Chains A and B, each alone.
Chain A
């Protein structure tokens, strides 16, 4: 056992146990677990094989950016291949299977491809398999097709129901982390009709990895409900289209063992928004070193998420590799939980460190291990014994939607990241998605705008005036949108940092 469940903490219902299976092996977790966290809690770190060389792979993230831990769920007409384990909530009787391996996940013949990797470079297949000419369709292509692909889709009829629906709102907020919640709350208090969508099973985004904020989070969510905001958890906004139409998919009953026939399992939303706020946060970047895909290596924010949300420790001895402060913050949290940090490897200048773990200035050279992590070799330095690595290579704002209609991202030297294209009509960027610097931990809501009538607004009822509250949340700067013709006084002028 390497990764394991902590005795306390997390947003779990420990009073209930849910049985599920992975590759036929019976396992158990709790309500509040994702498939990824439940597998980690059971010490199952090998979850998948890579596409081409069948390298052993584990989970790297705790969210939708997961590149490795893809699985096939369910059976019969409900078989669903290539599902990202961190996005799946476990339920009683869930059956998950690994993919793209033969005869088994642990012993996969396909891994022999790795021995030939130098001959199978990018695009090698354009240069060969041409002789004799008839062999392409008869011999080569069938073999290649069988080797390609990941999961196997079912050909059986899907028994479940789907539906589509429309929503019209003054403001669509995409992402229910600190910035998104602040935006939704401000607009709702000013009487706007608001839709708040988040792809997670719970609203809260990064706050869910910060237990100190949970009481306030609950308060905000109940106020949003009371103000008539349409809260859409488990909803991925997948596209931004002309006329400020957004497409979203709500996973209505994907987390239930037996979906009710009276409701759809998924719902397609077409959301027409007068204005939208993109508050999708930022994705932590992995660091580049040999073996960074060995099961046991994950991003620091994923480690924090598993620790705080599901009380799962990534291993017995964790090495933290960091560019910036994120790794130091995680190290402090882990030491406070009594977990052992093998070393803190800092690639640049770090903050002052008063914890127990040794700080090493260096560059990771190579992770050691095969199906599970054994240690880390520092470039030109020592070897660290560790069974888990948390890595932080800085943050990239999640700006896909902002680029969805053809605008290009803008590189920022100062932030070392691509930022959203500037000034697009109908879409504001907020919080970490705008690469805003860390904000003071206080959210003083601006007094709501004077009451105004919203044409076609569905929720101009609740306008608590002069509401002022203090909450330990990062805060977007509020105010009038200083643009000629801007009609929405509640719209948040997001802190836009000077672009360089």
Chain B
């Protein structure tokens, strides 16, 4: 059934609501098996079906649909990237966000509330000015705000903080937030309607090969044969790739995120603190959603620790002193696939029918639509999408890094 005001009315009158996607049992074989039923895996399945007509596809998810990072992030979207290897890709993602609701007939609440990145020093201002100019050269919107312009939008910031005075900001008005769960559900529904089998609680335990090709995967729900296998397993990329004998240039780290109790409208834009790595927005439900740095030690545990909670809270209060009277409702963690240069990998592997989508660090949510489209393109055509050509797995060996932050090969610092 197509969703509309009419469908809501009919559901209300009949009291009947159809499930948003089918719950099939796994078939013995598929043309494409996608491992990971998060945002990227579901988007890949959706675009495989919608753009390339490949519908004999299964998405295998070890938990429930949306139980990974797609259901755990801070929901920010932006395309304010500096480097030519990144910018066109993230801008494509932004354009896909802009048409997403109409595209998959599901209200993902894409809300272009703007992203304001504060700066606190001359050096930081110059770096942001350079970034803004690079964005404009790529056709992306960017503007510089002086202190007074920031004060007009966000009067309650601590402009004269002794350590981190606010000097101004760079703003991307087209950035904003999206209702993250709805992204998973919208893609799942769209894919399922086109014939894709979405199979939750189905953990892949082994990848089998014959004559240098992947032939099947062992799962907690039996063996499934596949003509092509695609991995989109975020923080567990190292684990799934190892099943195929691949060691990835990736470390896994935990990242915590937080939400406050529900509040009446408090802040209507995304704002980031340039000095302490803190980012904050307000959800449609009223919670202040915020986050900060990764934990900094390697771990697959979806939990963080207290030191970082303090660090994030202190950064938040340094930026908005009034936050000290707001209570945190929940804190949680996800696991991040931190690559050596802080940029992702969408590429083939040494096994000709095994495809890899990994290394999103903690920027994977904003990339969901473009990641799905580019990965589907790669799986369907065996050639990279033109905006994702730089995301090669062998770039670390060849020296073609995409080090957006200029941090060097330190995954924990990206």
Known: A126-B3, A151-B264, A153-B322. A141 touches B285 (CB 8 A): no
Tell me if A406 and B301 are in contact (CB < 8 A). yes
CB within 8 Å of A: which B96-113 residues: 101-102, 105-113
Among B105, B179, B322, max chain A CB count under 10 A is at B322
Other-chain residue from A77, A120, A404 in contact with B322 (beta carbon distance below 8 A): A77
**A35-B239 Cα distance, complex, nearest whole Å:** 52
**A270-B305 Cα distance, complex, nearest whole Å:** 11
Residue of B nearest to A78 (CB): B325
Tell me if A157 and B322 are in contact (CB < 8 A). yes
CB within 8 Å of A: which B298-313 residues: 301-303, 305-306, 309-310
Residue of B nearest to A124 (CB): B8
Residue of B nearest to A125 (CB): B107
| B326 within 8 Å of A (CB atoms) | yes
Least CB distance from A152 to B in Å reads: 4
Least CB distance from B204 to A in Å reads: 21
Other-chain residue from A51, A80, A136 in contact with B325 (beta carbon distance below 8 A): A80
Tell me if A148 and B266 are in contact (CB < 8 A). no
Please give, as numbers and ranges, the residues of chain B lying within 8 Å of A100 by CB-CB distance.
264
Among A78, A100, A119, A156, max chain B CB count under 10 A is at A119
Q: Mark B1-20, 1 if CB is under 8 A from A, else 0.
A: 00111011101110101000
Among A128, A153, A157, max chain B CB count under 10 A is at A153
Residue of B nearest to A161 (CB): B324
Tell me if B266 and A82 are in contact (CB < 8 A). no
Among A82, A152, A406, max chain B CB count under 10 A is at A82
Other-chain residue from A79, A141, A149, A270 in contact with B262 (beta carbon distance below 8 A): A149
| 9-residue interface stretch from A183-191, A241-249, A349-357 | A241-249
Among A78, A81, A144, max chain B CB count under 10 A is at A81
Please give, as numbers and ranges, the residues of chain B lying within 8 Å of A411 by CB-CB distance.
none
**A82-B261 Cα distance, complex, nearest whole Å:** 7
Please give, as numbers and ranges, the residues of chain A lying within 8 Å of B110 by CB-CB distance.
136
| B222 within 8 Å of A (CB atoms) | no
Please give, as numbers and ranges, the residues of chain B lying within 8 Å of A133 by CB-CB distance.
101-102
Known: A242-B305, A247-B306, A406-B301. A148 touches B107 (CB 8 A): no
Residue of B nearest to A132 (CB): B102
Interface residue range, chain B: 35 or more
Tell me if B107 and A245 are in contact (CB < 8 A). no
Q: Mark A98-112, 1 if CB is under 8 A from B, else 0.
A: 001000000000000
| B327 within 8 Å of A (CB atoms) | yes
Q: Mark B139-159, 1 if CB is under 8 A from A, else 0.
A: 000000000000000011010
Tell me if A121 and B17 are in contact (CB < 8 A). yes
| A145 within 8 Å of B (CB atoms) | yes
| B185 within 8 Å of A (CB atoms) | yes
**A385-B254 Cα distance, complex, nearest whole Å:** 56
Among A100, A120, A239, A270, max chain B CB count under 10 A is at A239
Residue of A nearest to B304 (CB): A241
Tell me if A148 and B12 are in contact (CB < 8 A). no
**A124-B179 Cα distance, complex, nearest whole Å:** 14
**A263-B266 Cα distance, complex, nearest whole Å:** 29
**A131-B262 Cα distance, complex, nearest whole Å:** 27
Other-chain residue from B106, B263, B301 in contact with A150 (beta carbon distance below 8 A): B263
Among B15, B17, B286, B331, max chain A CB count under 10 A is at B286
Beyond A82-B262, A121-B11, A125-B107, 11 additional contacts (C-beta under 8 Å) are A78-B325, A79-B325, A82-B327, A118-B12, A145-B282, A148-B262, A148-B264, A153-B325, A155-B266, A158-B322, A158-B324
State the A residues within 8 Å of B (CB): 51, 77-82, 100, 118-121, 124-131, 133, 136-137, 141, 144-146, 148-158, 160, 162, 164, 239, 241-242, 245, 247, 268, 270, 404-406
**13 chain-A/chain-B pairs, Cβ below 8 angstroms:** A81-B326, A118-B15, A128-B7, A128-B107, A131-B4, A131-B5, A141-B111, A146-B264, A155-B156, A156-B156, A158-B325, A164-B310, A239-B306
State the B residues within 8 Å of A (CB): 3-5, 7-9, 11-13, 15, 17, 101-102, 105-113, 155-156, 158, 179, 182, 185-186, 261-266, 268, 282, 284-286, 301-303, 305-306, 309-310, 320-322, 324-327, 331
